């Protein structure tokens, strides 16, 4: 809401892909934005991170936020094909189930995409090393007040805005406060993921074997189903391989996980 000629102000909690994208969208729409992130500084040259598949609409939107639209193409690889296959790991035979040759996604490395979006925003938007604690709505004004801890000094400050955006991840503490009865649902599998930098082992048996099993890496997203398991592979720019491995299993009992305490205690980026 605009008050007189003043810009409305949004407070965004979380400086990962969702938070930083929301900051772009709101600034483009004429909002003032302040983004609160508990990590002490912007990630630079991060060796860790996940792969992200960007659909055509996401590419178009991200390009509109960048100083030059081709920056996105220069930082990503094409994912022209989407192939679902079933693999019999004992017989080592794969059978194609579905194949979409007009997939038109692009494969981004989290750290590259984050850097691209971050560098296209004014640094004054970000409050690094600030931990969101709580919020309340000031009814008669329709505004919100957030309580935020400055981690370096321990000081607790109030930040007032017209809109609160919860971009603080799947264990969102904003959601826990706003929807305390909402319970996360277990998906039926556990997953591991990572990004392998193979620049120094390009001719190794491992990489040769992977390329043989997945010959269209570099333009194809492979979704490989096995018995009680499935895996996703695609290549990223600069000789990196994104992998995710899922194993069907009963819900593990991880202490405090769904209460969000695990998330709050973390001081590093979750993308490793």
Ligand X SMILES: Cc1cc2nc3c(=O)[nH]c(=O)nc-3n(C[C@H](O)[C@H](O)[C@H](O)COP(=O)(O)OP(=O)(O)OC[C@H]3O[C@@H](n4cnc5c(N)ncnc54)[C@H](O)[C@@H]3O)c2cc1C
> Given the rule CB under 6 A, which of 33-41, 181-189, 200-208, 211-219 is the region that contacts ligand X?
33-41
From 23, 27, 34, 52, residue interacting with ligand X (rule: CB under 6 A): 52
CA 52 to chain CA mean position, Å: 7
Residues in binding contact with ligand X, number by CB under 6 A: 26
Spatial separation of the C-alpha atoms in residues 201 and 186, rounded to whole Å: 37
From 33, 51, 77, 210, residue interacting with ligand X (rule: CB under 6 A): 51
Q: Shortest approach of ligand X to residue 193 CB, angstroms?
A: 4
3-state secondary structure (DSSP) of residue 30: coil
> Given the rule CB under 6 A, which of 48-56, 181-189, 199-207, 212-220 is the region that contacts ligand X?
48-56
Measured from the CB atom, the residue of 79 and 210 that comes closer to ligand X is: 79
- Interface with ligand X, residue 77, by CB under 6 A: no
**Which whole-number Å values give the CA distances from 267 to 39, 213, 225, in the listed order?**
6, 38, 35
- Interface with ligand X, residue 121, by CB under 6 A: no
Determine phi and psi for 113, rounding to 5 degrees.
-65, -40
Strands 130-138, 9-13: parallel, antiparallel or unpaired by DSSP? Answer: unpaired
Q: Shortest approach of ligand X to residue 4 CB, angstroms?
A: 31
Q: Shortest approach of ligand X to residue 96 CB, angstroms?
A: 21
Q: Shortest approach of ligand X to residue 54 CB, angstroms?
A: 8
Nearest residue to 124 via CA among 6, 33, 2, 40? 33
- Interface with ligand X, residue 131, by CB under 6 A: yes
Measured from the CB atom, the residue of 7 and 193 that comes closer to ligand X is: 193
Nearest residue to 112 via CA among 63, 65, 47, 56? 47
- Interface with ligand X, residue 167, by CB under 6 A: yes
Q: Shortest approach of ligand X to residue 225 CB, angstroms?
A: 16
Which positions from 175 through 234 interact with ligand X, judged by CB under 6 A?
191, 193
From 9, 173, 198, 241, residue interacting with ligand X (rule: CB under 6 A): 173
Nearest residue to 214 via CA among 191, 190, 192, 198? 198
Residues 47 and 180 sit within 8 Å (Cβ to Cβ): no
Spatial separation of the C-alpha atoms in residues 19 and 14, rounded to whole Å: 5
From 10, 16, 106, 166, residue interacting with ligand X (rule: CB under 6 A): 16
From 9, 11, 12, 19, residue interacting with ligand X (rule: CB under 6 A): 19
Check residue 140 and report its DSSP letter.
Answer: T
- Interface with ligand X, residue 37, by CB under 6 A: yes
Nearest residue to 144 via CA among 173, 178, 167? 178
Ramachandran bin of 129, using left for φ above 0, alpha for ψ from -120 to 50, beta for the remaining angles: left
**Helical (H) or strand (E) element with 148:** strand 143-150
Q: Shortest approach of ligand X to residue 264 CB, angstroms?
A: 6
- Interface with ligand X, residue 36, by CB under 6 A: yes
Q: Which residues bind ligand X (CB under 6 A)?
A: 13-19, 36-39, 50-53, 131-132, 167-169, 173, 191, 193, 244, 263, 270
């Amino acid at each position: 809401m605009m008050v007189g000629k003043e810009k409305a102000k949004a407070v965004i909690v979380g400086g990962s892909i969702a938070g930083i994208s929301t900051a772009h969208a709101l600034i483009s729409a004429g909002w003032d934005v302040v983004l609160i992130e508990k990590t002490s500084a912007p990630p630079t040259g991060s060796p860790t991170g996940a792969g992200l598949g960007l659909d055509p609409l996401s590419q178009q939107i991200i390009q509109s936020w960048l100083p030059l639209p081709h920056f996105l193409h220069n930082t990503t690889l094409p994912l022209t094909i989407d192939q679902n296959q079933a693999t019999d790991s004992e017989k080592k035979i794969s059978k194609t189930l579905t194949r979409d040759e007009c997939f038109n996604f692009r494969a981004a490395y989290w750290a590259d995409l984050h850097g691209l979006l971050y560098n296209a925003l004014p640094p004054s938007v970000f409050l690094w090393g600030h931990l969101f604690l709580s919020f309340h709505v000031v009814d008669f004004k329709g505004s919100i007040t957030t309580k935020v801890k400055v981690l370096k000094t321990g000081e607790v400050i109030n930040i007032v805005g017209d809109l609160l955006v919860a971009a603080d991840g799947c264990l969102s503490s904003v959601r826990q406060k706003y929807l305390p009865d909402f319970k996360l649902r277990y998906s039926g599998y556990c997953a591991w993921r990572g990004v392998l930098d193979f620049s120094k082992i390009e001719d190794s048996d491992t990489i040769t074997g992977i390329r043989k099993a997945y010959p269209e890496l570099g333009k194809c997203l492979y979704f490989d189903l096995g018995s009680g398991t499935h895996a996703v592979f695609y290549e990223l720019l600069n000789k990196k391989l994104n992998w995710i491995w899922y194993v069907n299993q009963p819900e593990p009992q991880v202490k405090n996980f769904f209460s969000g305490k695990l998330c709050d205690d973390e001081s590093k980026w979750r993308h490793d």
